[in-house]
Structure 1
Amino acid sequence: MDARLEPLFTPWKIGNCEIKNRIVLTSMGGTNLLGWMEKNHFDEDGARFIMEVARNHAGLVLPGCQPVYNPMFGQWLYKNKKMYEDLKNWMPEFHKTGAKLFVQLTAGFGRSFTISELMEKLYTNKFLRVVSKPFMNLDKITASASPSPNRWSDKVPSREMTVEEIHEFVDAFAKCAKLLQDAGVDGVEIHAVHEGYLLDQFTLKYVNHRTDEYGGSFENRYRFAVETVQAIKKVCGKEFPVSLRYSVRSMTKGFREGALPGETFTEAGRDMEESQKAAKYLQEAGYDMLNCDNGTYDAWYWAHPPIYMPENCNLQDVEHIRKYVDIPVVCAGRMEPRTAADSIAAGKIDGAGFARQFLADQAWVTKMMEGREEDIRPCILCHNGCFNMCHYKGVPNDQELSDSLHLARCAVNAEVMQWNKHYIKKADSSKKVHIIGGGLGGMEAARVLKMRGHEPVIYEKGSVLGGTFIPASAESYKDKLRSLLVWYRRQMETMGIEVHLNEEIKDTAQFGSDPIIVATGAVPRILKKVPGHERMIEACEYLNGAEVGEVVAVIGGGLTGCEIAYELALKGKKPVIVEMKDDLISQKGVCLANSSYLREWFALHQVPVYLETTLKEVKEDAVICRAKDGKDVEIACDSVISSAGYISAPLTEIGRNAYLVGDCLQVGNLRSVIWSAYEAAMKI
């Protein structure tokens, strides 16, 4: 192990609870021990994930947050006693790993509760609102500190919670904590004065306009959080550790409007001055640790950093707040292990929080300790498998129900939290399997086939493995994607997979009856009906190095087009985005944390965006577009990049023994490529 990493592997204490090292798995929805958005029970899948992380040398493990009042079916978490017995029976095996377990409890989401179109219908229809109450009482689960707009929908506003409801939640926290303590859990974490969840909404002046004992003054706004820890300590004893998930700064300009890194703005929520006071006040109330980052749901990219956010984006603020408390402080948010180790060694933080990297590779800490970092499958911060809650103009959370109910899956790791669906089963007999296409789909299929005992052979028409993922990972800020590409190429090498480069396969007849996997990807959609289309540079051509001028019109404001425009601006170019729809990145699968960053970045940096605008003609020094009002608009530019989407490109002649995977089957995203490749390899 690199000596610089050694501070990560020193012991520390939270109260009297000793933790063997400074690696903290922070909570992720979907990795719950007691169920998530379903009837509460001891969750075998969540337990399997938590155990695997603990066995791979995490020091402190926090499963997914548990609402003390379940939004689905209206259950109070303390009422199902059997699941606590199941947890108690499981805890001795967990403790054999040497890790400690804190269970995170939350009062819920309030105005941040994720609303879908179905929920809008349930709420706006009086009859449906009544009949749906037993399984989803939206009036109760979206209630907030004060009447306020929901983060996702204008149709489901939040009402003000009553004092009686607040007391009911405080009592529920205490009852749940006691049951967890009796089950052998090492501590609890309260979620949260963090991320704009319900408890945080009480602390934030732009949400809380109450005039009773839970609003107005600083002490009143933090009263809910204070009463919660006091109630827990009363029933569990002062020695039982209680951590607090804590946003140092809200980084929020107001409802549905965040503040970007480096932006000058007026803080609507908690600024650093208040945070300094609040951190000390919360410590005095009884909290034993602060588990920190920044942001709210209105500035979601701070709590769930996409790849556009800087590494260690919250570290400076967390190091600062550490000066104001005497309890341990953990920092999370795109943490880089060596930087975290340096901060710990300097006494600036006490622990380093990591989350989604554990989904990509549960053994990454073990590999880091063993000096095998090149074997770590990297998280690429896409949120596409774990948290693809997407939102755009006029549409609430646009997400498949399966995704909504089953979080904590991973785009680059098809197995995690899907072990009953994706798993390695040894083949009955070894077969030679020909794989046409050496992109990520082809390599994932080859990897799984090899693990199952088959003999995969890859045929790639290019000179290197990677396919369209090479341009897809080309932008300057996509280092994590390039790391994934390196990881896949290394897998091909270390597993001894036969690879033929510069060999294009047009006819599969030569392979006889051998099984075949076709992973030939997609081809760009060419706007041939647009006069002058030949003057445009296709998106992949630009990403592969084609030169562009100073002012660049990007035709297509989906994710690819917006990422290209972002890269152009970072390089000092002047992009102009032209999009047919009424919002940028108006597509499923792109998490709001990712899309809102780009939309707000373009607004802050005054990148011209033409919505509901259609390309009509490409000239030498301009594009002619048709605006929503039917009038033509001429946009001067030096170059034009076409990002109009892609069309599946399977081979024209394939036999019955062939399986199509990835974009040649159906144009999707990285998740659909990897998961479909895994599934095809399972069938052979």
Structure 2
Amino acid sequence: MDQRYEPLFTPWKIGNVEMKNRIVMCPMGGTSLFGWMEPNHFDKVAAEFFLNIAHNNVGLIIPGIAPLRDPIGGRWLYQNPGMFKELKAYMERIHATGAKLFVQLTAGFGRSFAITDQLSILLRNKALGTLAKPIVDASFLCASPSELPSRWAEDVMCRPITKEEIHQLVEAFAKTAKLCKAAGVDGVEVHAVHEGYLMDQFTLPYTNQRTDEYGGSFENRYRFAVETVHAIKKACGKDYPVSLRYSVLSKTKGLCKGAVPGEEYTEVGRDMAESERAARYLQEAGYDMLNADNGTYDAWYWAHPPQYMPQNCNLEDVAHIRKFVDIPVVCAGRMTPEVGAQAIAAGQIDGMGVARQFLVDGAWVTKLKEGREEDIQPCICCHNGCFALAHYKGVANDEDFNDVLHMARCALNPTTMQGHKYDILPAKKPKTIAVIGGGIGGMEAARIATLRGHKVTIYEKTDRLGGVFIAAAAPDFKEKDKELIQWYRRQIEQLKIPVKFNTNVTDLAQLKADEVIVATGATARKLPIPGADRAMDAVDYLEGKPVGQRVVIIGGGLSGCEIAYDLYRKGKTPIIVEAKNDLMAVRGLCLANSSYLRDFFEANRVEVHLESSVEKIDANGVTVKGKNGASQTLAADDVILAVGYTPAPAFAKGRHVHVIGDACKVGNLRTVIWQAWKVAERL
């Protein structure tokens, strides 16, 4: 093991419970041991997932939030004693690995509950909401400290939660924690004074306008969190560890308005002065650890950092708050092992929190420990599989319903949290397989087919592997994308898969293959407008074609917005033109990612023209027509087209010809990789 990482592998304690190392698997929605959007039960898929991670040298595992009351059906967790009997037997298997496990319990979501358009109907129509209550009590799911607009459907108001309901939740925390303790669970984590969930909404001035004992003063706003730990300690004993998920700073300017790194703003939530006081106050109340980062759902990118956020983005604030408490503090938020180890050695934090990297590669701690860093498949912070909650103007949570039910899967690793659906099984009859195209989809199909025992050859028309993803990974903030390309190239090399570079396949018969996989990607769309030939494609820019100072980007989807972000970081003046009423108005793009770019553009006054069509491009710039029908010319030194792609399969699908990835249907990395697995597993 590299000596730089040694501080990560030292023991430490939370209360009287000792962990063998300081790597903490942080909780993620959808990884609960008690199920997710379904009646509570002992979830065998999640249990198997965590057991694999326990066998791979993690110190502490904290599964994802377990709502105290089922979102579907409304049963309380403590009303299912059989579930905890299964949990007890499971904890013996966890402890046999040397790992420890805390169960995270949540009071709920409040206005942050990611309602869909369909669910919002139950909140708008009280009669329908009442009829649906036995199945889905949307009113309770979204109940907040005060009457507040939903984060996801801003025209929907969430009702104030009652004092009786607060007391029920406090009681449920205690009863459930007692059952966890009896089952051998090492501790519980209260969710949370964190991320703008229900309990956090009580603590924040901009979401708590109550006039009773749960609103107003500092003590009243933190009363819910204090009563909860008191109740748990009373039920379980003062020595039973209780962690608190905690946001040091809210990083929030207002409802649905976050503050991006480096921005000067007025905090409407928890500022540092209050956080210093709150951390000490919560310790004195009885909490034994702070599992910390920053943010709210209004500034979601601090708690769920996309690749635009700096690595170790929360460390400075968490290290500061560590000075004000005597209990251990864990820091999460794009933490890197080297920096995490340094912070632990310096006494700035006590543990390094990591979440989504475990979804991509559950064995990454083992690989780190064994000095095999190059073999760790990197998380690229895309949220495409684990948290694809999309939201844009006029649409609430636009996540596919299947994703709502099965969160915490992984775009890069289809085996994660999907049971044995994607097991790699030996081929019944090994075949010779030709893969045309050495992009991500082609490499993944070749990798899986080879692992199954097939003889695979990749045919790539250029002199390197990576395809269009090389251009996509070009901006300097895409360091993890670059690492992913290198990881794939290493996999192909280690598996000894032959690659025929600079080879343009024109005749399938010459390949002498039993099966052919076509992974030739897509081509950029053109606009049928005068002067379109004056514009460059997005890939041209990403591959290094120079541009002037003022650059108009036609297309405000993810590609166009990332190019605008890259241009701004380079000191250029980007101008975005988009036909829809919002930027990045697409399904599958997590709000944590899209809201960062929207907030960044607003904070830095990047010019954006929504609901605008392009009429022509000429030497003067780009002429656009706005929603009001008026035309204007946007002066531009250069114009970049980012209006999507069209599949470009080199060969049509046939009996033994399989078209995958963007060559089949343009999507994202998740659609490319998952389809590559499905095809490779069928051959």
1:439 positional shift: 0.3
CA distance in 2, matches of 1:14, 1:419: 32
Structure 1 residue matching 2:677: 3-state secondary structure:
helix
1:121 positional shift: 2.4
Alignment-derived partner of residue 117 in structure 1: 117
Residues 1:627 and 2:626 are matched in the alignment: yes
1:116 positional shift: 0.3
CA distance in 2, matches of 1:504, 1:116: 46
Check the 8 A contact 2:620/2:633 in 1, yes or no.
Answer: no
Which runs of structure 2 are paired with 1:394-543 in the superposition (5 Å)? 394-511=394-511, 514-527=514-527, 529-543=528-542
Unaligned runs of 5+ in 1: none
Alignment-derived partner of residue 181 in structure 2: 181
Alignment-derived partner of residue 605 in structure 2: 606
- After TM superposition, the structure 1 stretch with the greater mean CA deviation from structure 2, 131-140 or 18-27, is 131-140
CA distance in 1, matches of 2:483, 2:622: 37
Q: Give aligned pairs, total.
A: 683
CA distance in 2, matches of 1:161, 1:290: 26
Structure 1 residue matching 2:417: 3-state secondary structure:
coil
- Deviation string for 1:74-130 (max 9, x for gaps)? 111110110000001111111011011100000010111111011022333444322
Q: Give 2:621's aligned amino acid.
A: A
Q: Give 1:80's aligned amino acid.
A: N
Check the 8 A contact 2:114/2:152 in 1, yes or no.
Answer: yes
- After TM superposition, the structure 1 stretch with the greater mean CA deviation from structure 2, 264-273 or 119-128, is 119-128
Structure 2 residue matching 1:623: 3-state secondary structure:
strand
Alignment-derived partner of residue 568 in structure 2: 569
Structure 1 residue matching 2:666: 3-state secondary structure:
coil
Residues 1:638 and 2:640 are matched in the alignment: no
Q: Give 2:137's aligned amino acid.
A: N
Q: Give 1:90's aligned amino acid.
A: Y
Residues 1:154 and 2:154 are matched in the alignment: yes
Check the 8 A contact 1:189/1:245 in 2, yes or no.
Answer: yes
Check the 8 A contact 1:253/1:259 in 2, yes or no.
Answer: yes
Residues 1:8 and 2:14 are matched in the alignment: no
Check the 8 A contact 2:387/2:408 in 1, yes or no.
Answer: yes
Alignment-derived partner of residue 168 in structure 2: 168
Alignment-derived partner of residue 314 in structure 1: 314
Q: Give 1:666's aligned amino acid.
A: K
Check the 8 A contact 2:19/2:59 in 1, yes or no.
Answer: yes
CA distance in 1, matches of 2:40, 2:348: 39
Check the 8 A contact 1:229/1:287 in 2, yes or no.
Answer: yes
Check the 8 A contact 1:473/1:481 in 2, yes or no.
Answer: yes
1:300 positional shift: 0.2
Structure 2 residue matching 1:309: 3-state secondary structure:
coil
- After TM superposition, the structure 1 stretch with the greater mean CA deviation from structure 2, 190-199 or 128-137, is 128-137
- After TM superposition, the structure 1 stretch with the greater mean CA deviation from structure 2, 114-123 or 226-235, is 114-123
1:652 positional shift: 4.2
- Deviation string for 1:191-250 (max 9, x for gaps)? 000000000011011111111111111001000000000000001000000000000000
CA distance in 2, matches of 1:197, 1:406: 20
Q: Note closer, same or farther for the CA distance 1:653–1:157 as it changes in structure 2 (3 Å cut).
A: closer
Residues 1:50 and 2:50 are matched in the alignment: yes
Q: Give 2:288's aligned amino acid.
A: D
Q: Give 1:411's aligned amino acid.
A: A
1:642 positional shift: 0.5
Structure 2 residue matching 1:178: 3-state secondary structure:
helix
CA distance in 2, matches of 1:161, 1:128: 19
Check the 8 A contact 1:439/1:465 in 2, yes or no.
Answer: yes
CA distance in 2, matches of 1:119, 1:509: 54
CA distance in 1, matches of 2:265, 2:92: 50
Check the 8 A contact 1:74/1:135 in 2, yes or no.
Answer: yes
CA distance in 1, matches of 2:297, 2:562: 22
- Deviation string for 1:31-65 (max 9, x for gaps)? 11111111100001110111111111110100111
Q: Note closer, same or farther for the CA distance 1:137–1:156 as it changes in structure 2 (3 Å cut).
A: farther
Check the 8 A contact 1:621/1:639 in 2, yes or no.
Answer: no
Structure 1 residue matching 2:321: 3-state secondary structure:
helix
Alignment-derived partner of residue 277 in structure 2: 277
Q: Give 1:554's aligned amino acid.
A: I
CA distance in 2, matches of 1:645, 1:262: 32
1:430 positional shift: 1.1
Q: Give 1:376's aligned amino acid.
A: I
Check the 8 A contact 1:576/1:607 in 2, yes or no.
Answer: yes
Check the 8 A contact 2:432/2:513 in 1, yes or no.
Answer: no
Alignment-derived partner of residue 346 in structure 1: 346
Structure 1 segments of 4 or more deviating over 2 A? 121-128, 509-513, 651-655
Check the 8 A contact 1:230/1:285 in 2, yes or no.
Answer: yes
Alignment-derived partner of residue 223 in structure 1: 223
- Deviation string for 1:566-614 (max 9, x for gaps)? 0000001110000010100011111000000000101111110000111
Q: Give 2:673's aligned amino acid.
A: I
CA distance in 1, matches of 2:134, 2:473: 47
1:143 positional shift: 0.8
Structure 2 residue matching 1:325: 3-state secondary structure:
coil
Check the 8 A contact 1:508/1:655 in 2, yes or no.
Answer: no
Alignment-derived partner of residue 37 in structure 2: 37
Check the 8 A contact 1:30/1:406 in 2, yes or no.
Answer: yes
Q: Give 2:658's aligned amino acid.
A: Y
Which runs of structure 2 are paired with 1:57-456 in the superposition (5 Å)? 57-456=57-456
Check the 8 A contact 1:120/1:155 in 2, yes or no.
Answer: no
CA distance in 2, matches of 1:140, 1:587: 29
Q: Note closer, same or farther for the CA distance 1:446–1:400 as it changes in structure 2 (3 Å cut).
A: same
CA distance in 2, matches of 1:662, 1:450: 18
1:650 positional shift: 1.1
Structure 2 residue matching 1:307: 3-state secondary structure:
coil
CA distance in 1, matches of 2:509, 2:399: 41
Check the 8 A contact 1:313/1:333 in 2, yes or no.
Answer: yes
TM-score when normalising by structure 1: 0.99
Percent of aligned pairs with the same residue? 59
- Deviation string for 1:164-216 (max 9, x for gaps)? 11111000000000000000000000000000000001101111111111111
Check the 8 A contact 1:507/1:654 in 2, yes or no.
Answer: no
1:655 positional shift: 3.4
CA distance in 2, matches of 1:517, 1:652: 9
